[in-house]
Every structure is written in C-alpha cells, then in structure tokens.
C-alpha cells in the first residue's frame, strides 16, 4: 500500500500555512508550528529540503522566518510530495527514471502499475496550494 509519510503530509501543511498567511513578510517557524500543532523541532527537519528546492526562502534573525518564493497557484502537490517522499511510485520497479526490472518483458501487471502511477501523478499535479487554500471555503473537498 502506498502511504504518504508524516514528513510529506507535514510539508504540505507547512506550504499551505505559508500560502494562507502569505503577506510578503517572513513567517517565523514557531508560528507555523503553533498553528499546525506540529513540533518546531520536527519542522526543522522538513524546512531545509523545501528551501534547497527553492520552494521557500528563509531569513535568520529578528524578523526572520520563511516565505514562499512563488504564488500559491505555482506549487502543485505532486512536486511537494515528490520532494519529501522521493517517489510516489506504487511499486519499486517504477521508482527510477528507467525500469530495470528483469521481468519487464513478461510482467502481466506492469501496464496496470504504470497506469495507476500515471493517475497518481496527474491527480496530484492537478492540485495547487491555491486549490487547497480554496478548499477551506464551503464546498471544498480536498483533505490532507
């Protein structure tokens, strides 16, 4: 069973929080941790990957914190999850850029797994942070 880790779910929550509170200034990590009810220590393990990938910009010291580098509609859920999870592939043979499974030519389930993986990617690529923010309004149907 494919299962998104706590790290992936929390990274999404951080990104949504920053998108919802996006006023152009840096947002302290402790504020995000408090609002999201996530340990600040744990968030300190997630933030560096988001910053290295250019999803966030950080500033140390007084008035410091984190902010998005783009508008919420320019981040899709797939890119955030792939950054934190490494892969969203439902089976190991689809994890890399090239399938090296010795059974590739005789695997009766490969096309099914490829189709499922394609659905996963297309679904998550079709949801932006902006969509998740809008889902907080009546009628929204996305859940993290």
According to the model, what pLDDT value does residue 18 have? 97
Res 8 pLDDT > 90: yes
**66 and 26 in contact (C-beta within 8 Å)?**
yes
- Pick the residue with more confidence: 136 or 35? 35
Q: Please choose, from the candidates 143, 29, 40, 7, the residue with its C-alpha nearest in 3D space to the C-alpha of residue 21.
A: 29
Which CATH class for the 6-87+128-134 domain? mainly alpha
The HSE-up count of residue 114 (CA atoms within 13 Å, CB side) is 10
Per-residue pLDDT of 62-111, as tens digits, reads 889 999 999 999 999 999 999 999 889 888 888 877 887 888 888 999 99
Annotated domain spans of the chain: 6-87+128-134
Ramachandran assignment for 61, one of left (phi > 0), alpha (psi -120 to 50 degrees), beta (any other): left
| 3-class secondary structure, 73 | helix
- Can you tell me the mean pLDDT for 26-35? 96
| 3-class secondary structure, 144 | coil
Contacts of 144 (CB under 8 A, 6+ apart): 9, 12, 13, 16, 132
According to the model, what pLDDT value does residue 14 have? 97
- Can you tell me the mean pLDDT for 13-28? 94
**115 and 39 in contact (C-beta within 8 Å)?**
no
Contacts of 86 (CB under 8 A, 6+ apart): 95
pTM for the predicted model, two decimal places = 0.86
- Can you tell me the mean pLDDT for 34-62? 95
């Amino acid at each position: 069973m494919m299962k998104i880790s706590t790290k992936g779910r929390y990274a999404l929550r951080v990104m949504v929080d920053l998108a919802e509170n996006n006023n152009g200034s840096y947002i302290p990590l402790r504020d995000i941790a408090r609002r999201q009810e996530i340990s600040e220590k744990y968030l300190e393990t997630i933030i560096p990957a988001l910053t290295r990938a250019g999803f966030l910009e950080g500033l140390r010291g007084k008035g410091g914190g984190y902010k998005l580098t783009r508008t919420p509609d320019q981040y899709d859920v797939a890119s955030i999850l792939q950054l934190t999870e490494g892969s969203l592939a439902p089976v190991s043979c689809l994890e890399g850029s090239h399938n090296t499974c010795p059974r590739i030519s005789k695997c009766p389930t490969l096309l099914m797994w490829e189709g499922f993986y394609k659905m996963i990617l297309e679904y998550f690529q079709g949801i932006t942070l902006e969509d998740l923010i809008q889902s907080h309004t009546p009628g929204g149907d996305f859940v993290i």
